Amino acid sequence: MDGMTIKKKFRLTAFQKIIIGFAAVILVGAVLLSLPIATHTRAATPFNEALFTSTSAVCVTGLVVHDTATHWSLFGQVVILVMIQIGGLGVITVAAAFAIVARRKISIMQRSTMQEAISAPKIGGVVRLTVFILLMTFLFEGIGAAAMMPEFIARFGARGIWMSIFHSISAFCNAGFDIMGNDGGAYSSLSLFRVSPLVNIVVMLLITIGGIGYLTWDDVRENGLRLKRYRMQTKVILVTSAILIVVPAVLFFCFDFKGLPFGERLTVSLFQAITPRTAGFNTADLSEMTGAGRSIMIVLMLIGGSPGSTAGGMKTTTAAVLFANMIAVFRRKEDTGFFKRRIDRSVSKSALAILMLYLTLFVGGAALISTIEGLDMGVCLFETASAVGTVGLSLGLTPTLGLASQIILMLLMFLGRVGGLTIIYAAVSDKNYYNSRFPLGKITVG
C-alpha cells in the first residue's frame, strides 16, 4: 500500500475535524484549570472538576460544579472566558481566523470544513462570511461591554471593567457563566440586576443576537429592512424566535413571579423567556417557579437557538419544520413549506431524527442520573435539558452530583454543542451510504 493510499484512507471528514477540535480545546482548558494558579486558594482543582468546567465553557453551557467568581482566580476566569469565546465562535472558525490573519492560503478541503462549522449554504464566499462573523462578534461584544460598563463600575469600581467584558462575551456566546458570586452570593447569576433596565436589556439583546445565527446577520446586512428579500431560512428564524420569546413571556407573567411589582414582573418574565434559549443567566429563583413554568423552560432549553449561531439545542428551524410538518399532516397536504416555498422531504426526516436523538439523550440521561443519585426524576430532567441544550440553568443539582453523573452531563453538553447530526455523520462513513431502496411497505400510525 503506497503513501497516497494511506493518506487517503486516514483523511478526516469535516464533521470529524469539528469534533476533534472541540475535544482538543476542552482537554487543554481542563489542564490549565487544574493548575494551582487557576484558583483563589492556589490549590489544584481535581481534574474531573476542571474537565467539567472546561467542557461547560467550550460547549457554552454554563453548568458549573464551582462558583466561577469565588473558586477561580483571575487567571482561571480568563481561561474560562477564552474557552467561551472559542466555543461560541466555533473551533474551526477560530482556526480559520488565525489562517486569515497569517495570510495563509485556505484549501478547498479547509473551506469545506468551515462551511460545515458555520452551517453556510455553499462553499463559495465562506472565507468572506467568516471574516464578517468575526468582525460582527467583536463589535457586538464590545458594544455590550461598553453599554454595561458605567453601571458595573458604579457598583463594583475598577473591577466593573472586567466584569462588563466577561458578561458581555458570556451573554453573546450564550454561555451563561457569571462572576457575581463575590457580591450576590455563590451561583447568584444576574439576580443583583433584576431591577436594572440597562443590564437586562443589554444582556437580552446580546443573547438574542448571538442566538439567531450568522447567516441571519448576513441576510440583514445585505437586505436591511427589505423583509421580502430575506432568505426563507432567515424569515423562519426571525418569526420562530419572536414566537418563542413572546408566548413564554406572557405565560410566565400570568402564572409566575406574582409577588413582584408590575414593571419588575414584566422584566423578569421577558428575561426568563429569552435566557432558556441556551443562554443560562437568570434573574429569578428558579426553585420558586411553578411546575408549569419549569416545564416551559425545559421545552425552550431543548429547542435552543438557530443554526450557525453561538447557541446550542435542537435549533429553532428544527422546531419550525416539525410544527409545519404536523400542520401539513393535519391538512393532508403532501408537501411542507414556509412562505410559499416547499422544503425537501429529507429536511423533515432530519428534523425528526434530531428530535428523537435529543429526546433520547434528555430522558435517558435524566433516568441514569436519577437512578445513580437516587433523586427525583423531574429535577434530573431539568438538569439534563439544560446540559443537552447547552443552557446552564440549574435547580442547584449539578454541584452536588457524583463523578458518574458529572460524566453524563459532560457527554450531554458535548453532544448538544457539536450537534447530533455532526456526531452521526462523523461516525458513519460516506462509503456506508447507499442509494438502493427496499420494496415499499405500509404502516399505520396515530
Does the pLDDT of residue 441 top 60, yes or no?
no
- In this prediction, residue 279 has a pLDDT band, given cuts at 50, 70 and 90, of confident
pTM of the full predicted structure? Answer: 0.86
d(CA 234, CA 236): 5
- In this prediction, residue 8 has a pLDDT band, given cuts at 50, 70 and 90, of very low
Does the pLDDT of residue 345 top 90, yes or no?
no
Which sequence spans correspond to the domains of the chain? 12-429
Does the pLDDT of residue 34 top 50, yes or no?
yes
- CA dihedral for 393, 53, 40, 141, sign (positive or negative): negative
pLDDT tens sequence across 223-274: 888 888 888 888 999 999 999 999 999 999 988 888 888 888 999 999 999 9
Helix and strand numbers (H, E) in the chain are: 20, 2
Q: State residue 27's pLDDT score.
A: 94
Percent of the chain with pLDDT over 70: 84
- At 375 the three-state DSSP class reads coil
pLDDT tens sequence across 281-332: 888 888 788 888 899 999 999 998 888 777 778 888 899 999 988 888 888 8
Q: State residue 380's pLDDT score.
A: 93
Which residues partner with 337 through β-bridges?
342
* Residue that is written with C-alpha cell 433516568 in the block: 367
Does the pLDDT of residue 428 top 60, yes or no?
no
Which residues partner with 342 through β-bridges?
337
Query: Cα Rg for the chain, rounded, in angstroms?
Result: 22
Q: Which grid coordinates belong to 33?
A: 484549570
Instruction: Give the CA angle between residues 14, 137, 385 to the nearest 5°.
Output: 65
pLDDT tens sequence across 179-225: 998 887 778 888 888 888 999 999 999 999 988 888 888 888 888 88
The residue-averaged pLDDT of 349-366 equals 90
Which residues partner with 309 through β-bridges?
none
Q: Residue 289: CA atoms inside 13 Å, Cβ hemisphere, count?
A: 26
Q: Residue 444: CA atoms inside 13 Å, Cβ hemisphere, count?
A: 0
d(CA 324, CA 97): 37
> If you average pLDDT over every residue of the chain, what do you get?
84
Cβ atoms < 10 Å from Cβ of 280: 30
| Helix 126-156 vs helix 74-89: crossing angle, to nearest 10 | 150
d(CA 92, CA 19): 10
E runs forming strands in 43-99: none
Q: Residue 84: CA atoms inside 13 Å, Cβ hemisphere, count?
A: 31
d(CA 74, CA 332): 59
Element (H, E) at 14: helix 14-33
- At 77 the three-state DSSP class reads helix
Does the pLDDT of residue 113 top 80, yes or no?
no
